[in-house]
Structure 1
Amino acid sequence: MLDRYWFGDVSRISPEAPVPIAKINKIEDRPGGAANVARNIASLGGNVTLLSVVGVDEPSIALEKLLAKENVTTILKQDASINTIVKLRVLARNQQLIRIDFEEKPSHEILSEVLDTYSEIIQNYEVIILSDYGKGGLSHTLKMIEIAKQQNKQVLIDPKGSDYKKYANSTILTPNRSELKDAVGDWQTEEELIQKANALRKNLNLKHLLLTRSEEGMTLFTGDTAHNYPTFAKEVYDVSGAGDTVIATLGLMLANNVDITDAVKIANFAAGIVVGKLGTATVTKNEIVRELQLHLKNQ
């Protein structure tokens, strides 16, 4: 998807309705959704290919050009029956006034093409990341996991919705609090959370479950243990895209054979950096190294 930002100033209220009038003075496009995951991997120095579906329109051209600039290889299947997903945000003084979404679900024919291409290229990669935004692009999730397992590939999934059965047998899920509640219901205590998370992990045959908890940091459920990672965010400016940065960093670390607990530590630092930036953003290796050095110095 394409994240489109309209920046402007507000100095008066519309005479037509009690809403602010934004005078736009700058427009900025950024890769969003799975494209933001891909650009985060590239920003950290990883080799990444984005396989997805777009329309035949101006946003798809803009998206492809942006990703090329950020060293992301793309295989974008064009579906003439839909428009490329666009999230349009209008901001004044860096405060979001409104977000407008344009989205349609891809056709079955195009999704079959995606699955065929996925099967053809999977052997070239160490780790597979499936970013589910509930937009209809991942209707073959179970089959994709099965193909990856046959190739001994690790599969990381950012989930959506309440039915997590489609993510069975993956290596790791990275839900946020509200996404996990959709799947297992609410919890009142930390003990109840651990019980529900571990039950889900076992029922779905997941190796790990990583819960992102905003200001509370992250919790990794693995084996019968829960490892807590406090947040390192100095200032939370914008949480949009933070989950993308987490799974991107985690995937790159695991592709380089980093132990899961160390990989989550690095992903946690990356998340703490990116929430201090406006909109969907990336993190660099130098930024992570600098944060790690500051952390070690202050210990």
Structure 2
Amino acid sequence: MNRLHTLIDGFPQVRILCIGDVMLDKFLYGSVTRISPEAPVPIMRMDRETRMLGGAGNVVSNLCALGCRTTFVSVVGDDANGRQVKAFLEDTCCTPELVECRDYETTVKIRFVAGKHHLLRADQEQELKMAPELAARFLERVDACLPDADLVLLSDYGKGLFDGETAPAVIARCRAAGKPVIVDPKGADYSRYGGATLVKPNMKEFQEATGVCLNPSAPGWEKATLEGAARLFDEFGIENLLVTLSEHGMIFIPSSNPADFVCIPTEAREVFDVSGAGDTSLASLGAALAAGATVPEALVVSNVAAGIVVGKFGTASVTGGELKEALEEKARKVSSWHHRNNILTAEAAAELAERFRKEKKVVGFTNGCFDLLHLGHLHSFMKAREACDVLFVGLNTDASIKRLKGENRPVNNEELRSLLLASLDFIDYVVLFDEDTALPLIEKLRPDVIAKEGYPLERWPEGQYVVSYGGRAVELPRLEGFSSTDIINRMKKRPE
């Protein structure tokens, strides 16, 4: 685990050159309450719109979120959408090297979302024609950026940037410069990827390129996969293949010895959206390899990163901190009982709470030390949960409990306390906080309802804060005769 953390900490020293089809993603959010009288289609009432980088731009967003020093080469139209793409790239702190084409409209994908359901996607696009003059300008940018790169990522979205001439030209330049080049492919023609260090198709793309239909649930599927991989190795000189297998994980096959293939299972997560998961996988794989990871190490990092991003809504990225936290959780699950992946950082909890609010769910919050879990606690959790749709529980860290209750507390450490709470059906998410009060955490989460026993509003700053922005503070009824302190005192008095 320390080895993987060291690799992730090294991402800010990694220099990645990303090349690919960039586009603008628009998400139009709203709600549907009726069907149109004009046709049997839903009527969506618009609430808001967000815009972000799409296509290879999402790979760049992920690289920058991981901390990598990233340069990006692509072609955009000489239009407002192209200028917005450039502005977004500059905001990610990458170095954009964009070639403008007057006869091309920047691709825009528009998604209509009601609640957490995608209703429709509308694309504004035209095929990019890499005419000789445009291709020359594009390759000039590649030549200028290549010497400083540790590794090159090609993100092919099939929009025309990588045709039968430009893709081989880029890969040939990478090989001549001694730069590893990883390709996220599109389409069935892999001749354009000849000589690549690694090509990363998904199951559908692998089938299109080889004619081999993968079914990882069927006996002997590995043999058919190796046969298909051998065709790509022999015909195109591809050095390695990494086939992503959806819920079945991924398989890595080296051309040097295909029998040494590596399979790793997927990271089981609650899936909200698969948008951009392949981009996250590509970015984290490239970052890990450039940082010096072995292939098995890079596969673990890539797989965990993809597992995180599918738990987010919309095109999303993953940070180095989230990666390390997920890896720690993975290690804990190997050595301890399983919980529901619901012990969160404050940042992850705030993001999730905001998403639930957009889905019109009531977000609830309570907090405490919960040192010795007893019936009084369970009663409070049950009553708090009745007041909301989703309950977040703030849990004092060991250090904050010692400041509040003395050096002899807590009896149970924060890992055990958080695992116990995370295993209860009343509780949806647990969030540790180190401050003396939960107010800083509440300011991040902004729950709709805060609930706690024994605190009238006039002596409850956290409740007053929630009420100040229109939320509700609920004083829970106390179940008498139960407290951690009483239990500890009774144990001390009991004869041995």
TM class, shorter-length: over 0.9
Which residue in the other structure is 1:144 paired with? 170
Match among 243, 249, 268 for residue 217 of structure 1: 249
Q: Distance in 1 between matches of 2:154 and 2:56?
A: 8
> In the alignment, does 2:78 pair up with 1:46?
no
Correspondences of 1:1-299 after superposition (within 5 Å):
1-107=23-129, 108=131, 109-139=133-163, 140-187=166-213, 189-222=221-254, 223-224=257-258, 225-299=260-334
CA deviation vs aligned residue, 1:232-272 (integer Å, no higher than 9, x gap): 13112211211111111111112112111211110010010
Q: Which runs of 5+ in 2 are unaligned?
A: 1-22, 216-220, 335-496
Whether the 8 Å CA contact 2:116–2:272 is kept in 1: the answer is no
Question: Residues 67-106 of structure 1, C-alpha deviation per residue, up to 9 Å, x if partnerless?
Answer: 2222121111111112110000011112111101111123
Q: How many Å separate the matches in 2 of 1:278 and 1:50?
A: 25
The answer (yes or no) to whether the contact 1:239–1:275 under 8 Å persists in 2 is yes
Cα distance in 1 between the residues matched to 2:333 and 2:268: 15
How far does residue 148 in structure 1 lie from its aligned partner after superposition?
0.6
Q: 1:233, 1:271 within 8 Å by CA — same for their partners in 2?
A: no
Structure 1 residue runs without a partner (length 5+): none
Are the equivalent residues in 1 in contact too, given 2:78–2:105 (CA < 8 A)? yes
Report Cα offsets for 1:159-188 as digits up to 9, x if no partner: 011110110110000100000000001336
Pairwise CA distance, 1:205: 2.0
- Offset of residue 21 of structure 1: 0.9
| In structure 1, C-alpha distance between the alignment counterparts of 2:238 and 2:128, rounded to whole Å | 28
Inter-partner Cα distance in structure 1 for 2:234 and 2:30: 49
Q: Distance in 1 between matches of 2:253 and 2:212?
A: 17
Query: Match of 2:148, as an amino acid?
Result: N
Q: How many residues align?
A: 299
* SS state at 1:48 partner: strand
- The answer as to whether partners of 1:266 and 1:288 remain within 8 angstroms in 2 is yes
Contact residue 27 and residue 113 of structure 2 kept, 8 A: yes
Q: 2: CA distance between counterparts of 1:213 and 1:279?
A: 21
Instruction: Name the Cα RMSD after superposition.
Output: 1.3
Q: Secondary structure at the match of 2:261?
A: strand
User: In the alignment, is the contact (CA less than 8 A) between 2:229 and 2:241 conserved in 1?
Assistant: yes
Distance, in Å, in 2 between the alignment partners of 1:186 and 1:152 is: 32
* Structure 1 residue 110, shift from structure 2 partner: 2.1
SS at match of 2:73: strand
Normalised TM-score (structure 1):
0.96
Deviates more, 1:176-185 or 1:116-125: 116-125
Asked whether the 8 Å contact 1:237–1:275 carries over to 2, the reply is yes
Shift of 1:202: 3.9
CA distance in 2, matches of 1:112, 1:12: 53
Q: Specify the code of the residue in structure 2 equivalent to 1:214.
A: S
> Identical aligned pairs, as a percentage?
37
| Conservation of the 8 A alpha-carbon contact between 1:2 and 1:86 | yes
Q: Distance in 2 between matches of 1:185 and 1:242?
A: 24
Say which structure, 1 or 2, has more relative contact order (CA 8 Å, 6+ apart).
Answer: 1
Per the TM alignment, residue 207 of structure 1 is displaced from its structure 2 partner at its CA by 2.2
Report the structure number with the largest CA radius of gyration: 2
Decide which moves more: 193-202 or 288-297. Answer: 193-202
CA distance in 1, matches of 2:24, 2:228: 35
Work out the CA distance in 2 between the residues paired with 1:273 and 1:77.
33
The C-alpha deviation readout for 1:15-51, integer Å capped at 9, x for no partner, is 2211111111110011011110011011001011111
Say whether the 8 Å CA contact 2:210–2:231 is kept in structure 1. no
